[in-house]
Structure 1
Amino acid sequence: MRTAPLNPKVRGREIWGYALGEGGTSLTMNGIAAFAMLYYTQALGLPFAQAGFAFAVASIWDAIVDPAIGHWSDNTHSRWGRRQPYILLGGLAMAVTFYFLWAVPAAVITHGWLFPYVLTMNLLCRTAYAVFAVPYTALGYEICTDYHQRSQLQGARTALNMLVNLLGPALGWTLFFPDQAGGPEATSVAANFLHMGSAFAVATVGFTFVVVSSTRHHLTDTRGVVTGTGNTLGAFYSDFREIISDRYLRPIVGFMCIGGTGAVFVATLQMYLYVYFMHLTALQKTIIHGGGMVLCGSGALVGVALGRRFDKKNAVCIGAGIAATFDLVAAVVFLSGLLLPTTVWLVGGFTVPIAVIVFGGCDMLNWFGIGLFSSLAGSMLADVSEINELASGVRKDGGYAAIFSFSTKLILSISVFTASACLAWVGFVSGSDHQTPQAIRWLVLLTFGLGSLFAALVIPIALRYPVDQAFMAKVKADLARKNAPVSP
């Protein structure tokens, strides 16, 4: 039985202190998403199919272990609580394994062991990430129980994630991959990636200690406390079956899987567009990549206001519509020949790189829409977990966070593999600084065309979600009556 107030307000300082935990996951996961494929295929010469397979297997493994970690966390009994021990150990392990993703020993390459090394280190890094992320997400559900503050907390998480992404992976184009006149592409120099990986790993350690410290006031001794159904295999299976069959959960998982698939295609393939289609300078890459992160974080914060004004599912539809529209605009403009990557305008004696501006603007606004709808999903998931508490009598935040993560990661891991396979399918050559015009044209179509399609498909799925503010107000009132002390 819950002993804390049903609907306590949380101070903004606590929300942002918790959100700092996104710093480590942003540096590691966004760093991998932005640079790992380039590193292994262009700098080290690993075939696209092998690199994509390694990332997909690691992501699937990450999805598989999530439910177990969520169940264990829900049922952990320790003086340090049921979330913080996992957050600390997982965060430190994530930093160490992330470093070794980029610190590839020379013997691994010379002996032809690159593929098994990449696969092994990605599996270890993803395991550490799961140990950190699932309890961390569940802790957020416990910190904020107010209907609208949940959106505020999830918006803060996304905004922090994108801010760190801006200062890390996005700014990394300038810091770690500077242009070299007459030299090779900066992304074909292995040492550049090692410098980046070292810096991000050290920062991840710092973020881990900060989030553990900032959430210490929410640490509760769980020794002797009945927190769930137990840690037996039967209890795990029972919880898994109950959560996965929750009809309120399905629309959230559905639209995040579909929308996330489009986001993965854009995130994975846009890096190749930067280099081989637009031929952006390091500064332009930083501005566009960083601008996308800024607008993604801004979208998360705007989503809080739109959720209050139109309710959450309608705000999700608005975000998906924005993402779909600007991906479609980019596809039409560049595939039709309205603009070429080299198109510039002369205005008042100044050269305006209009093609770069349009490309960057569409990319950034796409990420604004993605940030808007994806941040609201976490808030909606916390609501669904509370609805389940009314029926079951037990709060299973870790289980819900894990099942949601499991479902979306399973789909997204397939998307990562498919995106990498598409590179080979359209004719991209691993390790080459030059690609055919036909391959590049296909890449533009896949990046923006599929991004637009998947974002648009989010809308009909989200509209099926039946929960709104009035629905949750009734749930909270019923919980209050159920948990009220019985008069003697």
Structure 2
Amino acid sequence: MITPAPPGPLPMRIKLAHGLGSVTLGIKEAGLTTFFMLYYNQVLGFDPRTVSLVLIGAMVIDALVDPLIGRLSDATRTRFGRRLPWLYGAAVPMAIAWALLWVSPDIAKHSTLGLIVNVVAVRILVSACEIPSVSLVAELTRDYDERTTLMRFRFLFGWLGGLTATALAYGYFLTSDEPGQSGLLEAAGYTGFGLFGAAMILVTTLGSALGQHRRIVSLPPPPAAGHGNSIFADIALAFRNPAFVALASGALFIVTGYATAIASINYMMLYVWKLGDAQFAWYPLGLAIAVFGAFAAVGRAHRRFGKRDTAIAAALFSGALAFLPYAARNLGFWPELGGTASVILLLGFMTLSLFGQIVANISAASMVAEIVEAHEVDHGTRIEGVFFAGYLMTQKFGQALGIFLVGQLVAFAGLGERMRPEDLPADTATQMGWIYAGLMVAIGVLAAVGLRRYAIDRASHEARLALLGGGEPGHKERS
């Protein structure tokens, strides 16, 4: 029998507090995906393939641990609820591990093993907060649209966390006082970037837990597990669920596209598009427009087209918009590189492509919650933590694939050592553009193909709720 949640729309304070918990994920993604490779490669002198392998290895370890965290989160029973003790316990060590990644470059530079341990610690501690936090979506409400709202707020706060860190990096921490020099290639600013991120991680994680505390502890207890005490039995059941397999196969490439775009952004803007520090500072504005646009659009799109079809259309749209500027540049239809017209056009295309990526990501993540009831109809138990952990594991494999592709692209371009943008041969920059553009189109198509097999829609979800005796058919999103 389904565990009843309070009926009706959730209070705004709960949506805000729940969303606040994803700021940590946004900061982590901004740091590890956007700046980490450039910092350790072009600033500290690591080979780009080594840096990408460190990131990939940490992601694989983290991904393998995720289902265990999810299952343990499902099984946690305390007076603080099933999920919140994880947030309270991980906040401080997570902030410390993040700061060490950026404020101790001498240690990292001389010890690849130490760097691996530090990155693994960051990723696992973030997962120990993110998995229990996002698993609350399926417990706080059963409504199809309210779950979209919760995921919208999660993505909004996650992206705002990453956007704040990115904007301060480009506009403050990583700017150079030397004319003609790029602050992205100087070590000094990365320490401040790391300490700021650590403070944000600590404050927002604890704030999210405290903001939801009374609501979570007042929820009825979940149904008892029906598969015995085997963690691995629950994990195996999750990965045999047809809807989850379909979602994971599509989400893998949605995240690969995002990771490829974000991990390559500094390289492409520096070496292909010839942007300077002042022009870099405009990129967060485009990112902000994409974030708020997606936040406003995704709920309406889900009500009209459904979550799956919205995700498919957004993935294809993003791939096409990522391809066009590189094709125009390489075929001679682009304004002078580095000029005002070039920067405006580039940021416009990037903003639209990012908008599509964010809509696809929100849609795919929101689809996980409905799998929880599909599983409950078939097996009589709810394993929210396992499903969300499995989804996050899929995301990490997608991130690993994207970072691997970028590492290979950077190595192909000969950027193994520090190089000024003007020293890169023009034909190499052109080849980088074609490879990147082709990858983004292929990734978008693969995401759409995978998602086509996901069969849960609004009608089938509400039918399952009716079977379980806890449905709220007819309720519509009110915020």
Q: TM-score range by the shorter chain?
A: over 0.9
- Say if 2:318 is the partner of 1:323: yes
Instruction: Tell me the equivalent position of 2:194.
Output: 197
Instruction: Tell me the equivalent position of 1:463.
Output: 452
Instruction: Tell me the equivalent position of 1:414.
Output: 401
Aligned residue identity for 2:31: G
Question: What is the CA-CA distance between 1:340 and the residue it aligns to?
Answer: 4.7
For 2:322 and 2:76, the matched residues in 1 are separated by: 44
Instruction: Tell me the equivalent position of 2:476.
Output: none
Instruction: Tell me the equivalent position of 1:296.
Output: 291
Instruction: Tell me the equivalent position of 1:260.
Output: 255
Contact 1:161 1:297 in 2 (8 A): no
Note the 1:133-148 alignment, pairs <5 A. Answer: 133-148=130-145
Q: Please, which of 101, 107, 117 is the counterpart of residue 114 of structure 2?
A: 117
Question: What is the CA-CA distance between 1:386 and the residue it aligns to?
Answer: 1.3
| Secondary structure in 2 matching 1:215 | helix
For 1:227 and 1:220, the matched residues in 2 are separated by: 17
- Say if 2:21 is the partner of 1:10: no
| Secondary structure in 1 matching 2:88 | helix
For 1:25 and 1:410, the matched residues in 2 are separated by: 16
- Say if 2:189 is the partner of 1:167: no
Question: What is the CA-CA distance between 1:44 and the residue it aligns to?
Answer: 0.6
Question: What is the CA-CA distance between 1:124 and the residue it aligns to?
Answer: 0.8
Instruction: Tell me the equivalent position of 1:79.
Output: 79
Q: Please, which of 436, 452, 457 is the counterpart of residue 441 of structure 2?
A: 452
Aligned residue identity for 1:134: I
| Secondary structure in 2 matching 1:220 | helix
Closer/same/farther in 2, CA of residues 423 and 242 from structure 1, 3 Å limit: same
For 1:151 and 1:170, the matched residues in 2 are separated by: 27
- Say if 2:301 is the partner of 1:306: yes
For 2:160 and 2:222, the matched residues in 1 are separated by: 38
Question: What is the CA-CA distance between 1:458 and the residue it aligns to?
Answer: 2.4
For 1:94 and 1:425, the matched residues in 2 are separated by: 35
For 1:151 and 1:481, the matched residues in 2 are separated by: 19
Contact 1:341 1:356 in 2 (8 A): no
Question: What is the CA-CA distance between 1:218 and the residue it aligns to?
Answer: 2.8
**Greater Cα shift, 270-279 or 363-372:** 270-279
Q: Please, which of 377, 397, 408 is the counterpart of residue 384 of structure 2?
A: 397
For 1:146 and 1:329, the matched residues in 2 are separated by: 39
Contact 1:92 1:208 in 2 (8 A): no
The percentage of counterpart residues that share the same residue type is: 21
Question: What is the CA-CA distance between 1:388 and the residue it aligns to?
Answer: 0.7
For 1:146 and 1:139, the matched residues in 2 are separated by: 13
Aligned residue identity for 2:95: A
Instruction: Tell me the equivalent position of 1:277.
Output: 272
**Greater Cα shift, 176-185 or 96-105:** 176-185
Question: What is the CA-CA distance between 1:129 and the residue it aligns to?
Answer: 1.1
**Greater Cα shift, 100-109 or 210-219:** 100-109
Aligned residue identity for 1:441: T
Aligned residue identity for 2:429: I
Instruction: Tell me the equivalent position of 1:380.
Output: 367
Question: What is the CA-CA distance between 1:243 and the residue it aligns to?
Answer: 0.5
Contact 2:5 2:141 in 1 (8 A): no
For 1:20 and 1:9, the matched residues in 2 are separated by: 18
Instruction: Tell me the equivalent position of 2:417.
Output: 430
For 2:459 and 2:196, the matched residues in 1 are separated by: 47
Closer/same/farther in 2, CA of residues 80 and 341 from structure 1, 3 Å limit: farther
Instruction: Tell me the equivalent position of 1:216.
Output: 213
For 2:262 and 2:338, the matched residues in 1 are separated by: 24
For 1:108 and 1:357, the matched residues in 2 are separated by: 38
- Say if 2:106 is the partner of 1:106: yes
* Structure 2 segments unaligned to the other structure (5+ residues): 472-479
- Say if 2:132 is the partner of 1:132: no
For 1:181 and 1:386, the matched residues in 2 are separated by: 58
> How high is the TM-score relative to the length of structure 2?
0.92
Q: Please, which of 238, 243, 268 is the counterpart of residue 238 of structure 2?
A: 243
Question: What is the CA-CA distance between 1:293 and the residue it aligns to?
Answer: 4.1
| Secondary structure in 2 matching 1:78 | coil
* Residues paired across the two proteins, number: 469
Contact 2:107 2:114 in 1 (8 A): no
Q: Please, which of 335, 339, 342 is the counterpart of residue 337 of structure 2?
A: 342
Contact 2:22 2:154 in 1 (8 A): yes
> How high is the TM-score relative to the length of structure 1?
0.90
For 2:286 and 2:467, the matched residues in 1 are separated by: 44
Closer/same/farther in 2, CA of residues 376 and 340 from structure 1, 3 Å limit: same
Closer/same/farther in 2, CA of residues 400 and 3 from structure 1, 3 Å limit: closer
- Say if 2:428 is the partner of 1:439: yes
Contact 2:256 2:443 in 1 (8 A): yes
Question: What is the CA-CA distance between 1:13 and the residue it aligns to?
Answer: 2.6
**Greater Cα shift, 200-209 or 163-172:** 163-172
Closer/same/farther in 2, CA of residues 62 and 294 from structure 1, 3 Å limit: farther
Question: What is the CA-CA distance between 1:10 and the residue it aligns to?
Answer: 1.1
Question: What is the CA-CA distance between 1:214 and the residue it aligns to?
Answer: 0.9
* Structure 1 segments unaligned to the other structure (5+ residues): 345-352, 483-488
For 1:450 and 1:199, the matched residues in 2 are separated by: 34
Closer/same/farther in 2, CA of residues 213 and 341 from structure 1, 3 Å limit: farther
Contact 1:27 1:204 in 2 (8 A): yes
Question: What is the CA-CA distance between 1:183 and the residue it aligns to?
Answer: 5.8
Closer/same/farther in 2, CA of residues 78 and 475 from structure 1, 3 Å limit: same
Question: What is the CA-CA distance between 1:68 and the residue it aligns to?
Answer: 0.4
Contact 1:70 1:134 in 2 (8 A): yes
